[in-house]
Amino acid sequence: MKNLLRYALTRILLTIPMLWILLTLVFVVLRIMPGDPVSAMLGGHAPERVIEQKKEELGLNRPILAQYLDYLGDLARLDLGNSMIYNQKVSQPLLEKLPATLELTMVGMAFTMLIGIPLGAYAASRRRTGRDFGIRLFGNVAYCIPVFWMGLMLQLVFGIWLDLLPIAGRTGPRVFVKDFQNTGFYLLDTLLAGQWASFADVALHLLLPSLTLGIVLSGIFIRLTRANMLDTLKADYVLAARARGIPERRVVYGHALKNAFIPVLTMLGLQFAALLAGAILTETTFSWPGMGRLLLERIYLRDYPTIQGVIVVFAFFVSLVSLAVDLIYALIDPRVRY
């Protein structure tokens, strides 16, 4: 247990330089490239004097190194600074939009697992049959479909042709967010408020975007689960289980799948970054008011602090998930501890 604790601490300390490098990269890129918040805000027609004054106010005239050190100082105190465009703290829009993206990401992840793992296990248990080949083909094709196209096609089929599901936003016109808003996770909020009609509406709005993410990312999990299952199905304990007359279904989904799960877990951590990137594109497709749309909107406005804030939050979550996966892994499999 003591070893595990030390391992956890080392891993946490290692994420700090990673965050720092990413932030520095973004900070430098934002400032050496053309365009600045003042010109974006005033539209380039303002008199020179006004522009200079505004730049002075925002501290944009100071040496870049001084701006950088100030920023790092603030960040160390967990202060993300103020927006350069709107009169608000950076944390305000972040806290507003983060739940929307997280809700989408988590439900999308759930769909990925629900589609990928059973299909992969099934394909392995029917190795070299038509079904195995079909599932593998589906996995490879799904992996090559851009997530935004998948979203558009699902919109076309389920939203327009069949007219079954909504294709934009988090809620319909007859649902008032103010009635239940609490954590920002609408599924949870509507449940807490006990508003079943709103819950159904929110769930329906979530279905297509999260299914889009789920299908596209399931490909890699199908492949991985199948490969691992093929290995575990060869193991002695599977033979032993079969010899004891345990039904094949339980041997495959009970005994073998449990053991094939560890590498799948690692892949889950690795794929989290892809999931976030996919979420941004899905947000664009489904007009989902999340972090991705916030990022795009603020990039056009050159709102440096908010852009940096979005990057910090993304980097934080990527590190958090990879840390969590490593720790769970270390807990399950004592051999990986350093």
Which chain residues interact with another protein by CB under 8 A?
17-19, 21-22, 25-26, 29-30, 33-35, 140-141, 143-146, 148-149, 152-153, 155-156, 160-161, 167, 227, 230, 273-274, 276-277, 280-281, 284-285, 295-296, 299-300, 307, 311, 314-315, 318-319, 322
Closest distance to another protein from the beta carbon of 299 (Å): 4
Of 83 and 319, the one with the shorter C-beta distance to another protein is 319
Of 167 and 252, the one with the shorter C-beta distance to another protein is 167
CA distance 56 to 42: 15
Of 166 and 186, the one with the shorter C-beta distance to another protein is 166
CA distance 313 to 323: 15
Q: Bridge-partner residues for 89, per DSSP?
A: 82
CA distance 20 to 295: 19
Closest distance to another protein from the beta carbon of 22 (Å): 5
CA distance 111 to 213: 8
Residue written as tokens 């076309």? 156
Of 57 and 297, the one with the shorter C-beta distance to another protein is 297
Q: Bridge-partner residues for 82, per DSSP?
A: 89
DSSP state of 161: I
Closest distance to another protein from the beta carbon of 324 (Å): 14
Query: Would you say 314 and 276 are in contact if contact means Cβ atoms under 8 Å apart?
Result: yes
CA distance 19 to 200: 39
Closest distance to another protein from the beta carbon of 157 (Å): 9
Of 143 and 193, the one with the shorter C-beta distance to another protein is 143
Query: Would you say 236 and 296 are in contact if contact means Cβ atoms under 8 Å apart?
Result: no
Closest CA to 216 of 121, 139, 285, 318: 139
Closest distance to another protein from the beta carbon of 60 (Å): 15
Query: Would you say 89 and 82 are in contact if contact means Cβ atoms under 8 Å apart?
Result: yes
Of 22 and 188, the one with the shorter C-beta distance to another protein is 22
Closest distance to another protein from the beta carbon of 247 (Å): 27
